[in-house]
Amino acid sequence: MPSGGGFQGWLSRARFTTVLWMLMIPAMAGLVAFTYVPNIESIIYSFYKWDGAMIEEYRGLENFREAFQGDPRFWGTFLLILILLAANLLKMWPSIFAAIVLHRMKSEKSQYLYRVMFVIPMVIPGLVALLLWKSFFDANVGIFNGFLQATGLMNVLAWADQAWPAMTGYMNGSVMAWNPDGSTTMNVATLPFKAIAVIFGGGWGLALWGAKVLLLGRGWKPFAKFWLLWPLLAALAVLAWGDGLVSAVARSAMLISSAWFIGAWLRARDPHEAPTRIAWIGWSCVALGVILVLITKVWTHPTNAFEMGRPAWLGHSQLVLPAVILWGFPWIGTVGVLIYLAGLSNISQEVYEAAELDGVGFWGKIFRIEVPLIMTQVRINLIFLTIGTLNDYAFFLILLGPSGGPDGAGLTPGLYMYQQAFINGRLGYACALGMVMFLIILYITVFYQRHVKVDK
């Protein structure tokens, strides 16, 4: 930057500043014209009855009142989002393990080669990848059905088509269960799973209780700092149990009290070991709850679609969700792997040498050294994953169409907004739904920034 005193120095600085502003004006103008102006207009039109062309009638808060009180289908789409988030939490681990394997490679040339191989798929347009996966699931000529028939797994799925829903009822402690012949009988669930259903309300409740153990393990005062979490817990309780706000909040309060009691009892018994035991109990319940959710919510009724050997994965309401979860297998994301590698490269070699002297093995290095030291990168990916799952609609639109597939099995909040705007012609109401989504995403982002911290 030019420096100097007097009029000449001031003139040089003024010229330099003017050049900088001139270079910034095109970018700022584009940002304002194509980002801020449409967003501001969407806020304005959220208060209008608007079809995008002729009809424009001011409605005040009527769109928002309809969204919160008269549109249960919109809020029902969030149940799918919760299931996808639970699946995505498990699908993060292959990328972590792939990054660790690349990081541990001794040859720098081989490590560089594999990094390039991970970057190459990013060149392929996302639309092409989606269309390839859509053809992959085709009932008649899809590779997936051909693979299942060639390996004999189609017969296994034909058996699981009847057994899996029966196990779903068994895991939930349900009264009725599906038999292999398609009939239903009384199901006598074993005590552990029946206790989960009665006490926690199923897998969702168990996962929520595990999260509360993690938060309340240190007492009420630390929990009071998490005031942003309270409405989220209440909303999750309503979505998880579906039995009304009052009942869900009452059940949540009971589980909060029990979670605090567990933490207080462990702290009183052994203050030094209490944090470790609280963490084990909390994370174990969260993991088990997520697994139960995926087991009991993905495939709930027999489809009878495997007997002919050509199941329509994207054409059956019970098979859409398994196909969506399977999409992207083996779930190794290129961007995620590179982000994790950036964190792993900062780990000093001395840490590994000290671990080897202490007798730490292969898996010990993963869970005691590498995963804890890349939690910053895990948090970044978790934020992107959550926001992306909430916002995404293009994937489901291309894969399943604007209706979200059969019976709306793949209908997400973003796809529902698209449906309201461009199918039903209610752009004003879609803008209001967009504002609701904006507030939800803003809340989650602020919560992550305030409370998802990494202590190294």
Q: Do 131 and 155 have their domain in common? A: yes
pLDDT in 10s for each residue of the chain, 456 residues: 555 556 677 777 888 888 888 888 888 888 888 888 888 888 888 888 887 777 778 888 888 888 887 788 888 888 888 888 888 888 888 888 888 888 888 777 887 888 777 777 777 777 787 888 888 888 888 888 888 888 888 888 888 777 777 666 665 554 444 454 555 554 444 455 666 666 676 777 778 778 777 777 666 565 555 555 666 666 655 555 555 555 666 666 777 777 777 888 887 777 777 777 887 888 888 888 877 777 777 777 777 778 777 888 888 888 888 888 888 888 887 788 888 888 888 888 888 888 888 777 878 888 778 888 888 788 788 888 888 888 888 888 888 888 888 888 888 888 898 888 888 888 888 888 888 888 888 877 777 666 655 555
DSSP letter, residue 28: H
Write down the pTM of the prediction. Answer: 0.73
Instruction: From 207, 383, 194, 189, select the one nearest 291 (Cα to Cα).
Output: 207
Residue 77's pLDDT is 85
Identify the domain boundary among 65, 83, 103.
Answer: 65
Tell me the CATH number at 347.
Answer: 1.10.3720.10
Do 167 and 307 fall into the same domain? Answer: yes
**b/e map of 398-422 (b: 16 or more CB within 10 Å)?**
ebbeeebbbebbbbbbbbbbbbbbe
In a domain, 144, yes or no: yes
Do residues 91 and 55 both lie within one domain?
no
Q: Is 371 helix (H, G, I), strand (E, B) or coil?
A: helix
Distance CA 281, CA 258 (A): 13
Give a yes or no: residue 198 inside a domain: no
315 with 436, same domain? Answer: yes
Same domain, 13 and 78: no
Q: Is residue 416 part of a domain?
A: yes
The amino acid present at 287, given as its one-letter code, is A
Same domain, 155 and 115: yes
Q: Decide: 95 and 331 in contact? Cβ < 8 Å.
A: yes
Decide which of 30, 46, 65 is a domain's last residue: 65
Does some domain include residue 333?
yes
**Per the structure, how many domains does the chain have?**
2
Strands 48-50 and 56-58: antiparallel
- What residue spans of 225-374 are helical by DSSP H? 229-241, 245-269, 274-298, 320-326, 334-344, 349-357, 362-365, 371-373
Are 85 and 176 within one domain?
yes
The last residue of one of the domains, among 65, 89, 104, is 65
Asked if the structure places residue 258 within a domain, the reply is no
Q: What is the largest CA-CA distance in the chain?
A: 94
Q: Please choose, from the candidates 339, 328, 330, the residue with its C-alpha nearest in 3D space to the C-alpha of residue 115.
A: 339
184 forms beta bridges with 178
Same domain, 323 and 439: yes
Q: How far is CA 184 from CA 101, 180, 316, 317, in A?
A: 47, 9, 21, 20
- Same domain, yes or no: 404 and 339: yes
Question: How far is it, in rounded angstroms, from Cα 110 to Cα 268?
Answer: 52
Query: Residue 17 sits in which domain range?
Result: 6-65
Domain-located, residue 378: yes
Same domain, 101 and 126: yes
**Does 164 reside within a domain?**
yes
User: Do 376 and 420 reside in the same domain of the chain?
Assistant: yes
**Residues 323, 427 within the same domain:** yes
Write the Ramachandran bin of 327: left for phi over 0, alpha for psi from -120 to 50, otherwise beta.
beta
With respect to residue 86, please indicate whether it lies within any of the assigned structural domains: yes
